[in-house]
């Protein structure tokens, strides 16, 4: 177990756990897929978000609060404050990632000043409650989102203080004053209830870790223990929507609103870790396991209900009604990452870490989070369907979308949680690549990167990673400083990489090949600067078949290549391929994967007659000539305009 | 074509069309499946509804309006007035069906008095708008439902006047005063918009037909022409929710909210028929055809979105997320019935009526409308899922359900449109059994019944129908009065009845066998009292396979027997059958159908491991021993308490 004391510039810094996170100042992504996303995030997405926060008046709400003129003129939904806080968090990570940046620094401080001016004398901070003409403070815990907003405020303050300790911009003081108020209002003898939208738990936990104030963590634990006892009102979708039907430590699987469920689970891991509550941690591990086995899309996406943005029941994973909210993907990463830090890779059948948490994080990053933003970083998917049945309608770049499930990326939403959530995730992404323990370094995600950190005993660990991943499966890790003491370097071998290999080529000429079955491949030795570890992951397109209990995709296959899920878009259909709805895939040969793209053979299933569709005889259309159709990575879908799309392809059966 | 002048006690009485409806005083259901439903409806459901209308204050809202104290004390949603009107309509039909009933008559008049007292001097009638402290009249056409409520008022007044002409209870005057106001406010130079929820169109059309007032029909036509041009606001789900995205005559398929879409289409048929608008009628026929081919569940249910209670895209028919609202089923019957009256049976490939409309009506009646109420008639399904993944929670008999999609029947809902809609449908059901044209009688639905009517030229047509349908496929039609002139009697042969036979056994000893392929089997001759027509429909359980374009049920089969869809309920599973989610059906033999029940052979598909469910190899569990499991008619599901349930059964494939 590793115990952390110094400040680490990472979103989650447990005081104890199997693995220790690295800060965004210790890991730099230097090139490739994620470096490009980070560049666009900093240059385009962050200004885009600030533009919309100003344009929609969500920032100005704080000015109105400061001038005492609310509620007149207030704009945005009840939770719009939180988007400002997530924006602040994203900018804090961006400043931490870039090092000095005067422009971002000035913008950050200007926004903090406006937020701080709106805080009331007793620490209360929310532009939507508490004034004459507004609802009373804490009067609508189901839907008011006051504590939810504060959770995001706390995370922003933590990000700032961890990346610029003692920056003295006032944000940490704003956060602690608000947190003190929460502890006083909702403490042991305070209001005996919880917020309808979990989030304050992770915020309080991290603020407690940062400041050392034990009340914050105790308050988070109080919120956790209170939930699940029906203190919130029953609603149309039941109390499971708020996770207020079953106490967290008794639940068997994540249920209800998928973002709420994952935020809550993430906070619960924090509480379990800090309280050394192995029973709670075990329950959360079990919930993660069943949720991943039965309630997760092949993309890593979670949530199959549009209506309540919720998980469905076990095996309820319709492609066309996949909600798979971008924020739920991010929240799932938050949950998985905390379990990874607490437990290590995850425990395989042989007791060896099996990489399950990092596997899911990778899948979700590439196929949910990376899918959300446009190439330009100024339009976003909120929901991430796996099957688009009708070409979407273009979303004008200057119009706020009323639709969460818009079928093309939109610049901004009435409920605009996803864009700033993507932004804070990309800005802090380097923090999810690697960890250390007392014995060495673990690489969980692959990107060209420079890593330089010290283990708990002060030993320097420094490597450069070079890779074209995920286009290519070769990952080259070059040691950039001597490590004279025996040190372990571990590289994750994803579950799909059944024939991976890891080879050490030392500067002294020695070569070592190590076990590299899925899980983590490790080499323990003294390293010299210039030693090279080369991981080769088999990067070939493959057909993936679903568990037969997933009704919605029975007798269908998906195509994956490495961590990337592919899809078929109608814009790529060759002439004569037939109606999109009737296409079937020829599964008799593997997908074609010539390096410049992936393609499959398609056949058309049936004619387009308008007849009663339920008959007594199996459809037996002619075995049409197959046509070859290219597939594209799912995260690239709808980057070329409106199209229909599907991830799961029905299998053609010869007559 | 038939032209109607006299008053017919039926919900829909076109002035012209292929077929003429019969009144509830001309057709009496005497025994069997529907007679039992009608008995329960009259003895239990109607009192149950009045009880809840009083208990929830939805009736008292009218009293508050009359005493000028609104909005204080108003209870219920913005459309609660409409439930009172549907209740009145149901009672009107019930009185018409029963003949004299002093108790119902008194209750009817008492409610009418309370409604009438709330009407304002200019004819305006709505308890939710127009007073100080309420929204202004017509200020929220998207969600206010004012015109929707009035449409139901008009239908109630029409039902009353057609069953008790000149009853002088005041209801017709209330309706015409309100209709006059609508024509004045929304006329050619009035408010250029429509109601978010279609319904006023059918109400105005029928009120126009009843009263002969041409303005009402013209106003209905105005509403129809205005819709589809985006006069209503854009909302999260788009204007298609209100059918305000595409003009009705340009639409290719029903879209958006399934009840609204069908009510609108029904009204559009009325407008097309009265305006002799064959182009519009043709467009509606095409919409019906594509909707039935691509957007309808095997039960006849429509609507696959919970969120917006809407149709999905073509082929988007998930069993587990089927919304299939009871009211949408009723609205679909309204649409189909109007097309049947206008066009006849529907035009088959050979030009002969193919019974498509009556087929769908039958399917929807038995599998949607009959599914909604409990045996006791005091609890209802609002949504009708085809796959219940988790046993439902019992709904207490004295608690209003906040959930439309409650998993067990509930006594009443916050949005309680379905119970009174079922009640008015059952009370008027006799009106959907048979029609006439200038040449004779058509039987569309089968129930033991007594039918006595006159053709346009005054000829008497009188028959008794005796049948145990749908348990048994024999329908015996006995002529009860001589028909000395050649008259045609036609009996519908459902599409599933490929080997039906129709035999005439005349009292003179002659026997005639006629063509009885699906569509309508007809005999034209002079009939004598005592002549018997015997239709034999092949009533054997069969496997039904879906169009391969319906993704959600690929490689699955349903079991049907006659018009009845069957389902598997977990309460019927024998020990050792395995997890419900993993069950597959052995399709190598037909379903077992020994007269006392239907059963199939089941096998368990796969183990219950909690692993990532997307792999590279097909699951190949052991070929477990099959177990025999009984199925029950879908309309009987959840009559025995909580269970899981599925209509579509995955097919087992031997390894």
CATH of the domain at B511: 2.60.40
Task: Determine, yes or no, domain membership for A122.
Answer: yes
Q: What pLDDT digit, counting tens, does each position of B269-281 carry?
A: 999 999 999 999 9
In this complex, the residue of B298, B389, B615 whose CB is nearest that of residue A313 is B389
In this complex, the residue of B315, B551, B582 whose CB is nearest that of residue A552 is B551
Cα distance between residue B357 and residue B341, in whole Å = 10
Report pLDDT for B607. Answer: 61
Same structural domain for residues A571 and A479?
Answer: no
Task: Determine, yes or no, domain membership for A58.
Answer: yes
Residue in chain B lying closest to A610 (CA)? B293
In this complex, the residue of B292, B403, B619 whose CB is nearest that of residue A236 is B403
Q: What pLDDT digit, counting tens, does each position of A542-584 carry?
A: 999 999 999 999 999 999 999 999 999 999 998 777 788 889 9
Helix (H, G, I), strand (E, B) or coil at B9: coil
Please report where in the chains the tokens 């992770």 appear, as a residue: A202
CATH of the domain at B424: 1.50.10
Mean per-residue pLDDT, B467-491: 97
Say if the ipTM goes beyond 0.90: yes
Report pLDDT for A455. Answer: 96
CA A563 to chain centre: 15
Q: Which residues of B touch A292 (CB under 8 A)?
A: 610, 612
Task: Determine, yes or no, domain membership for A89.
Answer: yes
Q: Which residues of B touch A402 (CB under 8 A)?
A: 234-236
Same structural domain for residues A532 and A557?
Answer: no
Q: Which residues of A touch B618 (CB under 8 A)?
A: 545
State whether residue B555 sits within 8 Å of chain A by CB: yes
User: How many domains, chain B?
Assistant: 3
Mean per-residue pLDDT, B336-344: 96
Same structural domain for residues B332 and B466?
Answer: no
Residue that finishes a domain, picked among A517, A536, A555: A536
Per-residue three-class SS string for A464-526: EEEECCCCCCEEEEEECCCEEEEEEEEEEECCCCCCCEEEEECCCCCEEEECCCCEEEEEEEE
Residue that finishes a domain, picked among B504, B536, B568: B536
Q: DSSP string covering A395-454, please? A: --TTS-BS-TT-SS-BS-BSS--HHHHHHHHHHTGGGGTEEEETTEEEE-S--EEEEEEE
Measure in Å the smallest separation between the Cα of B193 and chain A Cα atoms. Answer: 21
Q: Which residues of A touch B582 (CB under 8 A)?
A: 548-549
Same structural domain for residues B286 and B176?
Answer: yes
Cα distance between residue A500 and residue A224, in whole Å = 42
Q: Which residues of B touch A234 (CB under 8 A)?
A: 402
Same structural domain for residues A106 and A137?
Answer: yes
Could you report how far apart the first and last alpha carbons of chain B are, in Å? 60
Q: Which residues of B touch A316 (CB under 8 A)?
A: 320-321, 389
Please report where in the chains the tokens 């090949």 appear, as a residue: A513
- Cβ–Cβ gap B389/A315 under 8 Å: yes
Report pLDDT for A6. Answer: 75
Report pLDDT for A1. Answer: 46
Q: Which residues contact A424 (CB under 8 A, 6 or more apart)?
A: A86, A89, A90, A93, A159
More confident residue, B404 or A16: A16
Tokens of A167: 């920056």
Task: Determine, yes or no, domain membership for B11.
Answer: no
State whether residue A641 sits within 8 Å of chain B by CB: no
Cα distance between residue A137 and residue A126, in whole Å = 9
Per-residue three-class SS string for B511-558: EEEECCCCEEEEEEEEECCCCEEEEECCCCEEEEEECCCCHHHCCEEE
Q: Which residues contact A39 (CB under 8 A, 6 or more apart)?
A: none
Q: What pLDDT digit, counting tens, does each position of B169-180 carry?
A: 999 999 999 999
Cα distance between residue B313 and residue B531, in whole Å = 50
Residue that finishes a domain, picked among B432, B457, B477: B432
Task: Determine, yes or no, domain membership for A331.
Answer: no
Band of residue B100 on the pLDDT scale cut at 50, 70, 90:
confident
| A276 burial type by CB count under 10 A (0-12 exposed, 13-18 middle, 19+ buried) | exposed
Cα distance between residue B310 and residue B302, in whole Å = 8
The mean of the pLDDT values for chain B is 94
Helix (H, G, I), strand (E, B) or coil at B199: coil
Report pLDDT for B25. Answer: 96
Band of residue B1 on the pLDDT scale cut at 50, 70, 90:
very low
Largest CA distance in chain B: 77
State whether residue B612 sits within 8 Å of chain A by CB: yes
Task: Determine, yes or no, domain membership for B12.
Answer: no
Q: What count of Cα atoms within 13 Å lies in the side-chain half-sphere of residue A618?
A: 12
Tokens of B653: 């494939």
Mean per-residue pLDDT, B226-237: 94
Same structural domain for residues A486 and A623?
Answer: no
Tokens of A216: 């914050």
Question: Per the omega criterion (within 30 degrees of 0), is the bond before A92 cis?
Answer: no
Cα distance between residue B215 and residue B204, in whole Å = 9
Cα distance between residue A3 and residue A489, in whole Å = 20
Could you report how far apart the first and last alpha carbons of chain A are, in Å? 60
pLDDT exceeds cutoff 90 at B81: yes
pLDDT exceeds cutoff 90 at B604: no
Same structural domain for residues B547 and B579?
Answer: yes
Same structural domain for residues A565 and A499?
Answer: no
* CB distance A151 to A202 below 8 Å: yes
Same structural domain for residues A466 and A602?
Answer: no
Same structural domain for residues A531 and A608?
Answer: no
Predicted TM-score (pTM) of this structure: 0.94
Task: Determine, yes or no, domain membership for A285.
Answer: no
Task: Determine, yes or no, domain membership for B23.
Answer: no
Same structural domain for residues A145 and A33?
Answer: yes
Domain span at A72: 25-226
Q: What is the enclosing helix (H) or strand (E) of B184?
A: helix B171-186
Q: What is the enclosing helix (H) or strand (E) of A55?
A: helix A46-55
Per-residue three-class SS string for A129-168: ECCCCCECCCCCCCCCCHHHHHHHHHHHHHHHHHHCCCCC
In this complex, the residue of A316, A549, A581 whose CB is nearest that of residue B606 is A549
- Cβ–Cβ gap A389/B614 under 8 Å: no
Helix (H, G, I), strand (E, B) or coil at A120: coil
- Cβ–Cβ gap A555/B550 under 8 Å: no
pLDDT exceeds cutoff 60 at B4: no
Same structural domain for residues A491 and A566?
Answer: no
pLDDT exceeds cutoff 60 at B336: yes
Residues 473-492 of A with CB under 8 A from B: none
State whether residue B642 sits within 8 Å of chain A by CB: no
Report pLDDT for B348. Answer: 55
Which pairing describes strands B20-21 and A592-593: parallel, antiparallel, or unpaired?
unpaired
Helix (H, G, I), strand (E, B) or coil at B380: strand
Q: Which residues of B touch A542 (CB under 8 A)?
A: 616
Mean pLDDT in each 10-residue stretch from start to end of chain A (655 residues)? 70 96 98 98 98 97 97 96 98 94 95 98 98 97 98 98 94 98 98 98 98 98 98 93 97 98 98 98 97 98 95 96 96 98 73 86 98 97 95 86 80 94 98 97 98 96 98 98 97 95 97 93 97 97 95 97 97 84 91 90 75 82 80 96 94 84
* CB distance A638 to A568 below 8 Å: no
Report pLDDT for A396. Answer: 86
């Amino acid at each position: 177990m590793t115990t952390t004391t110094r400040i680490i510039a990472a979103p989650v810094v447990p005081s104890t756990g199997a693995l220790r996170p690295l800060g965004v100042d210790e890991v730099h992504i230097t090139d490739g897929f994620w470096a490009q996303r980070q560049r666009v995030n900093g240059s385009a997405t962050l200004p885009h978000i600030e533009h919309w926060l100003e344009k929609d008046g969500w920032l100005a709400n704080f000015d109105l609060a400061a001038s005492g003129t609310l509620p007149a003129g207030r704009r945005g939904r009840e939770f719009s404050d939180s988007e400002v806080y997530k924006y602040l968090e994203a900018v804090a990570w961006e400043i931490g990632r870039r090092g000095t940046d005067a422009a971002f620094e000035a913008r950050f401080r200007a926004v903090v000043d406006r937020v701080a001016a709106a805080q009331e004398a007793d620490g209360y901070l929310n532009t939507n409650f508490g004034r004459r003409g507004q609802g009373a403070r804490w009067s609508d815990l189901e839907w008011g989102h006051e504590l939810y907003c504060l959770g995001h405020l706390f995370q922003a303050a933590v990000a700032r203080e961890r990346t610029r300790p003692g920056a003295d911009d006032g944000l940490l003081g704003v956060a602690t004053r608000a947190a003190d108020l929460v502890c006083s209002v909702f403490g042991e003898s305070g209001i005996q209830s919880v917020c309808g939208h979990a989030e304050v738990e992770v915020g309080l936990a991290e603020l407690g870790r940062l400041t050392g104030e034990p009340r914050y963590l105790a308050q988070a634990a109080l919120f956790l223990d209170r939930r699940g006892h029906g203190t919130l009102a029953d609603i149309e979708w039941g109390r499971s929507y708020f996770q207020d039907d079953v106490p967290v430590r008794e639940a068997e699987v994540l249920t209800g609103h998928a973002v709420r469920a994952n935020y809550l689970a993430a906070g619960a891991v924090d509480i379990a870790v800090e309280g050394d509550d192995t029973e709670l941690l075990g329950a959360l591990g079990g919930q993660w396991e069943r949720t991943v086995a039965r309630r997760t899309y092949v993309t890593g996406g979670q949530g199959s209900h549009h209506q309540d943005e919720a998980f469905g029941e076990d095996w309820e994973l319709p492609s066309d009604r996949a909600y798979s909210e971008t924020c739920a993907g991010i929240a799932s990463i938050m949950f998985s990452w905390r379990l990874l830090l607490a437990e290590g890779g995850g425990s395989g059948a042989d007791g060896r870490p099996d990489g399950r948490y990092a596997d899911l994080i990778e899948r979700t990053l590439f196929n949910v989070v990376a899918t959300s933003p446009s190439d330009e970083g100024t339009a976003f998917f909120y929901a991430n369907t796996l099957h688009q049945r009708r070409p979407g309608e273009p979303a004008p770049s200057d119009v706020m979308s009323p639709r969460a499930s818009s079928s093309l990326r939109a610049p901004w939403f009435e409920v605009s949680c996803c864009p700033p959530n993507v932004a804070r995730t990309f800005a802090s992404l380097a923090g999810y690549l690697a960890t250390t323990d007392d014995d060495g370094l673990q690489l969980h995600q692959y990107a060209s990167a420079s890593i330089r950190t010290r283990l708990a005993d002060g030993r320097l660990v420094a490597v450069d990673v070079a890779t074209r991943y995920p286009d290519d499966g070769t990952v080259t890790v070059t040691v950039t400083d001597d490590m004279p003491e025996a040190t372990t370097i571990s590289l994750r071998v994803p579950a799909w990489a059944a024939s991976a290999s890891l080879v050490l080529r030392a500067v002294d000429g020695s070569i070592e090949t190590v076990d590299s079955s899925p899980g983590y491949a490790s080499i323990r030795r003294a390293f010299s600067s210039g030693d090279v570890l080369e991981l080769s992951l088999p990067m070939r397109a493959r057909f993936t078949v679903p568990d037969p209990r997933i009704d919605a995709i029975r007798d269908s296959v998906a195509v994956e290549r490495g961590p990337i899920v592919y899809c078929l878009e109608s814009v790529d259909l060759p002439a004569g391929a037939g109606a999109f709805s009737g296409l079937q895939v020829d599964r008799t040969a593997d997908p074609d994967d010539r390096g410049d793209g992936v393609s499959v053979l398609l056949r058309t299933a049936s004619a387009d007659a308008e007849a009663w569709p339920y008959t007594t005889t199996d459809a037996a259309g002619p075995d049409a000539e197959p046509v070859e159709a290219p597939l594209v990575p799912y995260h690239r879908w709808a980057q070329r305009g409106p199209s229909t799309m599907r991830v799961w392809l029905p299998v053609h059966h010869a007559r």
